[in-house]
Structure formats: structure tokens, C-alpha cells
Amino acid sequence: MSTSKIEIRNLTVDYIEKKKNFTALKNVSFPINDGEFVSIIGASGCGKSTLLSVLEGINKPAEGEVLIDGEKVNGTGSNRSVVFQHYSLFPWMTTRKNVAFGIQQVRKELSRTQRLQVADEFLDKVGLSEFRNKYPSQLSGGMQQRAAIARALAMDTEILLMDEPFSALDAKNRIALQELLLKLWEGENSENKKTVVFVTHDIDEAIFLSDKIVVLTSHPGTVYDIVAVPFERPRNREELIARKDYAAFRSRLLSMFYHDIVDRIGGNEVVL
């Protein structure tokens, strides 16, 4: 019996495109500990989102398995909540209804009033109180993601899965939301800290947020390396970036990122 929260074992995932079979992930194994913030990085098309979709339970592996608390994942479950890059929210529900609807699916014991109360509480935490009666189409991209995060946190699941949640945002919003996410996640007391799996292609984002970074290579996706982030929490972005070891760490990750590309192109003199 493993002690990790999530155990990914020998995972191979195929997908079919234009009637051809591709291998998206091949033999991927790694553990994720309870309360850990893990980022999965890799170039686009390396299968990082596919990996997350298996954790979500909406995609089934060809081989291997994912265990959560020692139990095999088979479909979606009420112990996980998800934030996607787009379309996490239902466009026909107000922000508040969206959050309350998420709560309703996992915490059936709550009454309607209680659900709305919890929804309001979390919308307040992400700074959307004023916008609770607006529809998603009336919100900016950043606000929509705030609302999606509020819903995921309000559902109070043990595991939070995030699939490039900030990739579509402008730089300013992205930074603001990274800090908000970290603040909310670090703000929880240590016993019931959520386990977060965060997919991104942004190295700085991964370093700033994570305890551990899993680097994937492409075609098919395999684990290239797993790196522990050596910076203590709570983190301050400016101080972190100014540190010498940060630059060293970052370039180490960057070389892993490009190592893969250089290998594939096969030349030494690659101009990127």
C-alpha cells in the first residue's frame, strides 16, 4: 500500500485522431503526496493535459492505473474538483449560481440558502462579490477564472486539478491569479491542505507555485525528470526572482524543456 495521495502507475494513454492511433502518454509513473502542490510542465502536445484528464476521470488509460488513496480511479469523483483553461463555468448560470451548483454536486447535505451562503463567502475571497449576479459572458477572462477557482475551492474537495487555468490571461491577470491561488491554498490549515495538480507550460508559474515539478517530454509523453522546488514558503515573487539560485534553478528547468526539442530536431546548431 502506498502512502501517497495520488499514485500514477505505468500510465499509457492512446488517442485517436483522423482514424489513426497515437500514443499520448507512455509508461508514466510518479507519486503525488498529500497536501502537495505539483506542477506538470512540458511543451504543447506532450500529453500533460491528457494526463490530467485521466486524473479527472474523463479519459481512460490504455494501460496502467491511477490510484487515489489507494483506490483505482474509475470515472469522475467527488474527491476532485477541476479548473479548465476555458469553459469551466456554465454560461447560463450567474457567477453565484455556478459556484452554488458546484457545491450542490458534492455537498448534498447543504440547503439552498446554505449553498448560496458558501458561494458568497468564496466569491468574496476571490474578490467577485460585486459580480455575483453577472453571467460569465459579462465577466472578463480573469474574472471567469476567479469564479472557477472560487467554485473549485468552495466544493472543498481534497484534490484540486488545474489544466492551464491561467494560460489564456494577460500577464498582469496571470500574476494576480497566481498570487491569489497561492494565498488561498497556503491559507488553509496544514492538516487539510488540498493536493493540487497544476498543468502549465509556463516555467516561472510552475516554480512560483509548486513543491514539485514533473517535466514531461513529447511524442509520446514520458516523464523526463521530477524536480523538487527548493524555495521555502511563503514565497514573495520579487524576492524569489532576485535570488541567484532562482536563476540557476530556472535555467536548469529550461534546459530540460529544450533538451527534448533539441533531441527531436537532431541538430546541435538549433536556433530557437
Partner 1 sequence: MTIKARFLRMTHIFFTILMLIQLLPDKSQKEVCTSSLIVFAIVAEAVVIILSFLIKRKESLSLTLDIFGFIYVFLTVWTLVTAKFDLLNDLLFPAPGKVISQFAEDKTVILTNIKSSVGIIIQGFLLAVVAAIPLGLLIGLNARLGNAASYLTKFFSSIPPIVYIPYGIALLPTFRSVSIFVIFLASFWPIFAGTMSGVLNVDKKIVDSAKVLNVKKPAMLTSVILPASLPQIFLGCNQGLSVSFILLTSAEMIGARDGMGYYVKYYSDFGDYTRTITGLLVIGIVVIAVTFLFNRFQQYLLRWRK
Contact residues for partner 1, defined by CB under 8 A? 56-58, 76-78, 80-82, 84, 86-93, 101-102, 105-106, 135-137, 155, 161
Integer angstrom CA distances of residue 168 from 1, 174, 223: 39, 9, 25
Which lies closer to partner 1 via its Cβ, residue 72 or residue 183? Answer: 72
CA distance 121 to 96: 10
Which lies closer to partner 1 via its Cβ, residue 135 or residue 246? Answer: 135
User: DSSP class of residue 35?
Assistant: T
CB of 102 to partner 1, least distance (A): 5
CB of 184 to partner 1, least distance (A): 19
CB of 80 to partner 1, least distance (A): 7
Which lies closer to partner 1 via its Cβ, residue 101 or residue 246? Answer: 101
CA distance 246 to 35: 24
Which lies closer to partner 1 via its Cβ, residue 169 or residue 207? Answer: 169
CB of 107 to partner 1, least distance (A): 11
Which lies closer to partner 1 via its Cβ, residue 19 or residue 172? Answer: 19
CB of 191 to partner 1, least distance (A): 24
CB 224 within 8 A of CB 216: yes
Integer angstrom CA distances of residue 209 from 159, 165, 180, 250: 16, 13, 11, 13
Is residue 14 classed as helix, strand or coil in its secondary structure? strand
CB proximity list for 160: less than 8 A, separation 6 or greater: 80, 81, 82, 83, 152, 153, 194, 195, 196, 197
